[in-house]
Structure formats: C-alpha cells, structure tokens
A and B are shown apart, each in its own frame.
Chain A
C-alpha cells in the first residue's frame, strides 16, 4: 500500500502535466468559443460585438460548407477503405514465412516516416505532374493522354497521397494483431478441412476486429486534420477544400475569425464524437 507521503508526492508529480494540458485545452478553446459568437474581423475593424449564433448559421449555410463536408468524407472514407483493405492483405502476406522479411517490413513502413510536406511535393511534382511526372510517362507509354492529376482527379490524387502515408500504420498494427493470433487454432481449422475463405472470415477477421476498430478511429482523428497535403498541392482548389482547410481559410486567409471559430467549434464537436468511441475501447483495455 502506498503511504500517505507517497500519495501526496504522486499528486505533486502529476500536477505539472495536468495543469499544462488543462491550460492548453481550456484557454484557446474558450477563446474560440467566445470569438464564435462575435463579429470579429481583425483587418476590418476588429471586434465588432456579439452576434449570437449568426456565425454558426452562416458557416453551415455558406456555399462552401457542403462541398467541404463532401471532400472531407471522400478523403477520410477513401483513405480508410484503402488503408484497411490493403493493410489486412499486406499484414497477412507479411505474416507468411519468407526470405528477407525484416527488409520487406522496413520497406513497407518507410512512408510513415516521411514528413507530410515531402510526400505531398514528391507525389505532386515527380509522379502527378502532367508533363514530367512518372505517371504521365507511364500513360504515354501505353498510348494514353496524360491526366492532370491534381486538377482533373484532385480528390483521388489526395486520397492516393494520404493512403500511401497511412498504409504503413494500418499494416503495422494489423500485423501486430495477426501475430498474436493463436496459430494452433488456424491449424486445427485447417486440419478439419476449413477452406481458406472460411478460416479468414470465421477466425482471422473476428480476431482482427478490435485492431481494425482502433485503426479506424485513430486514423479518422488524424485524417480529419490533414493539412500539409492540401496546403502544398491544391491549396484547397478543385474540390479539395476539406472542413479543416475551410476553417483555416476563414481564419487566416480571409481573417474572418468569428466565422472560422464557429467552424472550429463544429470541428471540435465532430472530433469529440469520434473520440468518445475510441476512449471507450482504450478505457476498457486499461481495466484489463
């Protein structure tokens, strides 16, 4: 049993972290909340007083709102589907006996460590450029007309770039989960003559369900906030203006802080809804 002394010392040691995070959370969030009820234009008159819920109404009724929700859904949904589907396939493959497994693992994980501005620019210039990009050469080789990737197929292009960055994360977590699967169970099923498909559906997939949920939730939270990938490629044009990017533009580019803050509060609420589900899973794990 911890002594009284140890307990008060423990509380003291916990304090700095709690106070810092509390300040980091409460101060800016309160400010955003206050701004969101104001007409606040730093370059055009500054604080012009309270306007009630006007910013909240204007944010969702502006013509840019629904397209931004659409772009967000396509990017987040597309990346999730691609990374999880390919992640499962890749994890199953990497779990098989082979030569040079360690090296293949390293090759597959590498994109996760590339800084977002680098991966976005490399893809934009060296792969998707309609004249000098590798894709253009590839298309020409097959006699096809090169595609203006980031303008004609802007959303798929962003999905491709971001999927490339996050596939390693999904793969790594799913691989970790697969490796904890009891191989005897699979062998028993195999001996009983269960075909590969039913082994996958009835044993492997249920075993992976928790890991898949975690990948889903964590990636969603990070993907809702992607910024650099859009900032250095399309700057939000060609239908790639996500909710995050729209808020960024309202706040810093058009300096309409009130309107942007209302958008920010929407984003906070959205992220919290997803976070609640993630917390439940993580919390359950803490008890175990």
Chain B
C-alpha cells in the first residue's frame, strides 16, 4: 500500500533535496560557468555568478595548445583499449565460472578480487623498473596493459554477476538441440549478455579514464592522458582559472554523461555484487 503523502510534505522534501543536490553539484557548476568567463571575470571581486560576458575563448585557447588533442587521444586509446582488452580476457572467464562452476570457482573469484586490493604504491617501483627494461615507460601500450590488469577483477566480477542471472536452462536447451559450444556462446549467450557487457564496458571506461595513480607515474610527455594534462595545471598555469576550468570541463564532460547512464551499474560493479 502506498502511503498518502501530503503535497506540503512533498514540497518540503523537494526543497531540501534540491538544495543539497545543488550544493553538492556546485563545484562542477562553478567550473563550467568559470570556463565561459574571461580571465578577469574569473577572479572578479566579488565573484560574478551568471551575469558576465560569456565567451568561448578559453576553449579555443586550450584546444589550440598544440598538445591538447594528443592528451585527449591518449585518454581515449588508453581507457578504450584497456576496457576492450579486459573484456576479451574476462568474457570467457566469467562465462566459464557462471555456467560451468567448479568447487574452486568461489575461491578463484575471491582471489581475483584480492588482487584488486593490492596497494598500487607497493608495486610501483617493480612496475616502473619493468617498464624501463621493456621500453614501455611513457607508452600507450604499457599504460593500457596496466589499466587492463587493475580493472580486470572488476570486469570479471561484473560480468559474472550478470551472467549468473541468465537462466542455465536456456543453454541446456540449446545444447540438447545440438548447438556446439561456439554456437552456444555466439547465438544464445551473447545476445542475452549484451546489456551486461555494455554496462561493464561503460563503467570500466569511466574508471580507466579517471585513473590517476599509474597514469601520473608511468607517463611523461608522449603517452600522458588528460589526468596528467590537468595535473600540469597545478602551477603556475592553474592561476588562469578560466582556462583551467575550460580544460577541466572538457576532461570531465564526456564521463559525466556516461556516468549518468551507468549509475545503476556503478553499485553492482563497485560492490562486487554484494549490494544490488
């Protein structure tokens, strides 16, 4: 039975929730607004909120920096590459654990999760050293591999929880009808698993895009993605608020939009199925 809610109560809830919501969102809103100001307006005293001369000069200034496109491209390649590679490795693994479970499946899943708990800083130097020896330092391939490995446990787990929801009887039926393992995966499992795979892809792209330990420590000039580009605004360029804001807005906008689509998967992906 739904509770009858008075309009007054609902109005109060709305007011409270919107106030808190806007307060939490404010830093992002402020960054977006500042990105459309002139540098002078960005540090005006008192601060101007909406009534200033809107300009897009900061965006053109940031994009004209010869290297911006490079950073953006690196982010796309590294985040996209690591996610796709991760899926290629994880889909068969998750499939096998979900549909042909053995006594050790649970242990394997938990062990995979435990590798995610390994503190990055604990293995920083060995990875750094291996990267130098293998010529992977400051390369997109190297970073793609590392991000694939650190996100692999999450990818396997997410896919596993999705695959487990696919009724096994359907696969049995396909097998009875004489479908080979390959057919089974290609024509039966894949179409049912696509939504789960898509959500996994989305969330892991986001995680890889925002990763800021390995991307800062294993890249210099050539392979640095947007996380490192923004970090370079630390000083003294960070004093140019409007340009910093424009660069920040461009770095976070695509991910904010993707993130809004993946809110539900976020819970499942980051709690390893423990909260649904």
Which A positions have Cβ atoms within 8 angstroms of B? 2, 5-7, 9-11, 13-14, 16-18, 20-21, 24-25, 27-29, 31-32, 35, 90, 93-94, 96-101, 103-119, 121-127, 132, 134, 137, 141, 164, 167-169, 172-173, 176-177, 180, 183-184, 187, 210-211, 214, 218, 221, 224-225, 227-228, 231-232, 244, 247-248, 251-252, 257, 260-261, 264-265, 267-268, 270-272, 274-275, 278-279, 281-283, 285-287
Contact = CB atoms under 8 A, between A and B. Distances in A.
11 contacts: A14-B93, A20-B149, A100-B14, A113-B256, A115-B210, A115-B255, A116-B227, A118-B31, A180-B276, A228-B212, A270-B119
Given A10-B96, A187-B3, A279-B114, A17 B89 contact: yes
A20 to B, nearest CB: 6
Chain B interface size band reads: 35 or more
B13 to A, nearest CB: 4
Contact of B231 (A14, A114, A228): A228
Interface in B231-276: 231, 233-234, 238-239, 241, 244-245, 248, 251-252, 255-256, 258-260, 263, 266-267, 270-276
A117 B233 CA distance: 10
Interface in B94-114: 95-97, 99-100, 102, 106, 108-110, 112-114
Contacts of B55: none
B18 A100 contact: yes
B20 A252 contact: no
Contact of A127 (B27, B96, B266): B27
Contacts of B90: 17
Interface of B: 1, 3, 5, 9-10, 13-14, 16-18, 20-22, 24-25, 27-28, 30-31, 34, 43, 45-47, 89-90, 92-93, 95-97, 99-100, 102, 106, 108-110, 112-115, 117-130, 149, 152-153, 156, 181, 206, 209-210, 212-213, 216-217, 226-228, 230-231, 233-234, 238-239, 241, 244-245, 248, 251-252, 255-256, 258-260, 263, 266-267, 270-276
Contacts of A260: 124-125
Contacts of B99: 2, 10
Contact of A14 (B21, B92, B276): B92
Nearest to B27: A122
B27 A119 contact: yes
A98 B112 contact: no
B210 A104 contact: no
B126 A28 contact: yes
A232 B130 contact: no
A13 B172 CA distance: 19
B264 to A, nearest CB: 8
Nearest to A11: B96
A232 B231 contact: yes
Contacts of A97: 5, 9-10, 13
Contacts of A210: 274-275
Contacts of B209: 115
A28 B227 CA distance: 24
A109 B213 CA distance: 22
B118 A177 contact: no
Nearest to B44: A132
A71 to B, nearest CB: 14
